[in-house]
């Protein structure tokens, strides 16, 4: 696999991992609704400890999904417009390919296509 492709897949996986917790998805939705949100507001909305919210925000920032800007004694968070773009385009292409090929497995997970491997 080419290095560029590996790097792309690594970034897609990193973004997906960062979104892999319900609290982080709630933070993303909250920031979608509010555009900019102070850390204390996020803590109140989620009902989680400050340290827990800080850790979730750190993970989202590390994956470039969220940006934090210091304004005096507080930090205002917003979504990075480019942060989800790569994951979104990868999912779109993947879903389109799956739809083109049709279902390879039935509802019980058994393969039902000539091209699929049989166990």
Distance (Å) of CA 91 to CA 13, 14, 57, 74, 80: 11, 14, 23, 35, 18
Kindly state the tokens that stand for 88: 């979104």
pLDDT value of position 1: 67
Sign of the alpha-carbon torsion through 15, 20, 24, 25: positive
pLDDT category of residue 117 using cuts at 50, 70 and 90: very low
Which residues 6+ apart lie within 8 Å of 40 measured at CB?
A: 74
pLDDT value of position 101: 80
Cα 86 to the chain's mean position, in Å? 10
Bridge partner residues of 79 (DSSP): 66
Question: Average pLDDT for residues 22-41, to the nearest whole number?
Answer: 92
Question: Average pLDDT for residues 99-103, to the nearest whole number?
Answer: 77
Laid out side by side, the sheet with 74-79 consists of: 36-38, 74-79, 66-71
- The full set of domains in the chain, from first to last, is 3-101 (1.10.10.10)
pLDDT value of position 113: 57
pLDDT over 90 (residue 97): no
pLDDT in tens, 58-93: 999 999 999 999 988 889 999 998 999 999 999 999
Question: pTM value?
Answer: 0.79
H or E stretch at 78: strand 74-79
């Amino acid at each position: 696999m080419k290095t560029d492709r590996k790097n792309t897949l690594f970034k897609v996986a990193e973004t997906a991992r960062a979104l892999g917790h319900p609290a982080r998805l709630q933070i993303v939705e909250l920031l979608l609704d509010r555009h900019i949100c102070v850390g204390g507001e996020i803590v109140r909305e989620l009902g989680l400890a400050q340290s827990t919210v800080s850790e979730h925000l750190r993970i989202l920032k590390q994956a470039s999904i969220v940006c934090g800007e210091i304004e005096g004694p507080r930090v205002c968070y917003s979504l990075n417009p480019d942060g989800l773009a790569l994951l979104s385009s990868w999912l779109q292409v993947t879903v389109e390919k799956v739809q083109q090929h049709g279902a390879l497995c039935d509802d019980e997970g058994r393969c039902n296509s000539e091209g699929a491997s049989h166990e």
